[in-house]
Structures are given as structure tokens and as C-alpha cells.
Amino acid sequence: MGLDDRKLAVLRAIVEDYVATQEPVGSKALVERHQLGVSPATVRNDMAVLEEEGYIRQPHTSAGRVPTDRGYRLFVDRLSRVKPLSPAERRAIERFLVGAVDLDDVVHRTVRLLAQLTRQVAVVQYPSLARSSVRHLELVPISTTRLMLVMIADTGRVEQRLVELPAPVPAEDVTDLRRLVNEKLVGSRLSDTPPLVQALVDEAGPHLRGAMTTLSTVLLETLVERHEERIALAGTANLTRGGLLDFQGSLRPILEALEEEVVLLKLIGEAEPSTTRVLIGDENEVDNLRAASVVSTGYGPGATIVGGLGVLGPTRMDYPGTIATVRAVARYVGDLLAQN
């Protein structure tokens, strides 16, 4: 089990070379490109140990070594420093995000930026409703039996939903409804609203009871239950870089997974404060993504987290660079949101 410093250096060198060249790396090439100070034969012995421990493997008997998922894991955890961003990258981020007029706009720009910088598939979750508070609720009469419910959250998200009323409701009553729901709900976290919504129904005057009951159902559905999360995606074309070597020949499972919002949320939505999460190959719980790695983190104004963002790519990716970029972009987006 003893992995001395040199063996770790060998592993690091293998990962770096393989990521750069995409070809299995042999002992001779290794000593040439890195100053390890020992002969190829020694490196070979180290490699044999690393292989036995499951950090690298040979695709074919007479080929060089390739890192395993476990090898990448060790590399990420102990052998790499997060690369500082180049000034050019910092400038690119700022230039890209300045001038966003809108939450939608921010999210779209962010996801494109992330895809472009990392040259991978980027995923950005809209600020989670569960973590937002109600800033305002608007009821717009469409007809006597139809209302448009518009909810504005403090994170900038705006959700709307059509409400079909059981019976015609006069304009004054709509005003009353509007006042009531705003009095009760504005300022509270969406995740805390269910009991408040229930209370609304109980407190409504008899003439509002019917309308309020319907409204409360829609409120609960829209704000709490139904696909409350939204996702933006960009850079799928980057999956085709590196020929078909990555992803073991078929993009199919990856593309399928990317179409499932639920899957994406699982990947990037479970962020903990100020951590960057790296999931490598097999560590991924989604079967379709066993050949991919995901780097994700949370973002939000200040220290609070309102959503997640990240990138997905081949296990053979530049982890230090990707991690740095994901973190930097998340921080910039957080700052941008804080300005509201």
C-alpha cells in the first residue's frame, strides 16, 4: 500500500500526459518528458505497483498506461493544485457577463461562457425556487373565470401560470385576492409557503372561498411541486471533440441523459456551500454517465447558495483548469446576483 512520493509523481505525470495527448503513456516517454531522475525501468516497477493498486491500467498488453477513475480521483484529491485563471480568462468572464439585462440573460450568457471556456458541456441551474423568497404576486384577469398568476422571486425568477376559476370573480374580488396573497406570502421562503397557503384558504371571506381554494392549489403546484427547477444547457457540440475515443464510442447515452432535467439537477443541483464537487466516471450514479466526469459547484449572492452550475466532459479532462474555471464563473455570477 506504500505509495511513496515518486510513485505519486509518476501517477501525476501519467495523468497529465494522458490528458494532453490522449494516448497511453509508456515508461520511456515519461522519463523523457518529466524530470523524474530515474530510469525507465524504475518507472516500470512503480507503474506495476500503481496498476496493482488500481490507479492505472493497460488497454492492451503491449501498450502504455492509462489512468483509471480511481487514478483520476487520487490525482484530483492529492496531486493537483487548482490552476489560477489567466488574466485573459478573467477578462473574458467579465466582458461576457457585463450587460446582462435579465435573469434569463444572465443564465444564458453564463452557460455559453462556461461551455466556451472549458470547451465542454455546460449546465446552469436557474436560481432554485425552493431557496427563493416571494417578492411579489400578481393576479392579472384574463377573463371573468381566468387569472394569470405571476410570481416574482427575490432571485429574479418570474413564474407564471394560468388559473381556471370555478366561477366568475368580479374585479374587486381579484383585488382582494391579490392583497390577501401578498400580505400572507411576500417575504417568505417558497419552501415554507405550504402552511401559509393553507391558512389563506381558511381566512378568506366566504365570497372568496371558492376562488381562493383553486388559487391555492395552483400556488402550491406552481411554486412548490411542479418542475420548479429550470436548467440551461450549452456546448453539446463539444462532446464530439476528441473523436470517439472519449465516451467509449457512443454519444447516445450522454445525449439522452442531458435531455433529462431530473438527471441534470441531480448532477449539479445538490451543491453544498463553497465546495466544488468532482464526480469521476463510475462515481456517477447515473448509468448513462459512467464514462463522463462532472465538475459542479453552487452559486449565489454572497455566501448563500441559490443554484448550481457545472460542466460535463470525458473522464480524461483537465481537472485543475476546469475546476478553476467553474469556481471563477460561479463567483462572478454570484456577485452579479448580489447587485440586485
Which residues sit at the interface with its own copies, rule CB under 8 A? 101-102, 135-136, 138, 140, 142, 148, 150, 152, 156, 158, 160-162, 234-237, 239-240, 250-252, 255-256, 258-259
What's the half-sphere exposure (Cβ side, CA atoms, 13 Å) at 183? Answer: 10
Tell me: does residue 28 bind DNA (CB under 7 A). yes
Grid cell locating 237: 457540440
User: Which CB, 26 or 298, lies closer to DNA?
Assistant: 26
Q: Binder to DNA among 9, 13, 19, 25 (CB under 7 A)?
A: 25
Q: Are 288 and 253 in contact (CB under 8 A)?
A: yes
Which has the closest alpha carbon to 111: 241, 238, 255, 279? 238
Q: Binder to DNA among 35, 62, 143, 339 (CB under 7 A)?
A: 62
User: Which CB, 51 or 283, lies closer to DNA?
Assistant: 51
User: Which CB, 50 or 153, lies closer to its own copies?
Assistant: 153
Q: Binder to DNA among 33, 40, 136, 196 (CB under 7 A)?
A: 40
User: Which CB, 48 or 237, lies closer to DNA?
Assistant: 48
Least CB distance to its own copies at residue 322 (A): 20
* Partner in contact with 94, chosen from DNA, its own copies, none, beta carbon below 5 to 8 Å by kind: none
Q: Which residues of 51-65 are buried (b: 16+ CB within 10 A; e: fewer)?
A: eebebbeeeeeeebb
User: Which CB, 42 or 288, lies closer to DNA?
Assistant: 42
Which segment (60-68, 133-141, 159-167, 234-242) binds DNA by CB under 7 A?
Answer: 60-68
Least CB distance to DNA at residue 37 (A): 7
**Measured distance CA(192)–CA(55) in Å, rounded:** 46
**Measured distance CA(140)–CA(162) in Å, rounded:** 10
Rg of the chain over Cα atoms, rounded to whole angstroms, equals: 26
Least CB distance to its own copies at residue 146 (A): 9
Tell me: does residue 33 bind DNA (CB under 7 A). no
* CA-based max dimension of the chain: 89
Q: Give residues with Cβ within 8 angstroms of 129, minimum separation 6.
A: 153, 157, 159, 190, 223, 224, 228, 229
User: Which CB, 2 or 99, lies closer to DNA?
Assistant: 2
Q: Are 337 and 298 in contact (CB under 8 A)?
A: no
Tell me: does residue 35 bind DNA (CB under 7 A). no
Tell me: does residue 81 bind DNA (CB under 7 A). no
User: Which CB, 242 or 253, lies closer to DNA?
Assistant: 242
Tell me: does residue 51 bind DNA (CB under 7 A). yes
Compute the CA torsion angle 229, 235, 238, 240 (nearest 10 deg). 70
Least CB distance to its own copies at residue 225 (A): 12
User: Which CB, 89 or 138, lies closer to its own copies?
Assistant: 138
151-154, Cβ contacts within 8 angstroms, sequence gap of 24 or more: 151/222, 151/223, 153/127, 153/129, 153/190, 154/340
Q: Are 258 and 303 in contact (CB under 8 A)?
A: no
Q: Which residues contact DNA by CB under 7 A?
A: 6, 24-29, 37-42, 44-45, 47-48, 51, 58, 60-65
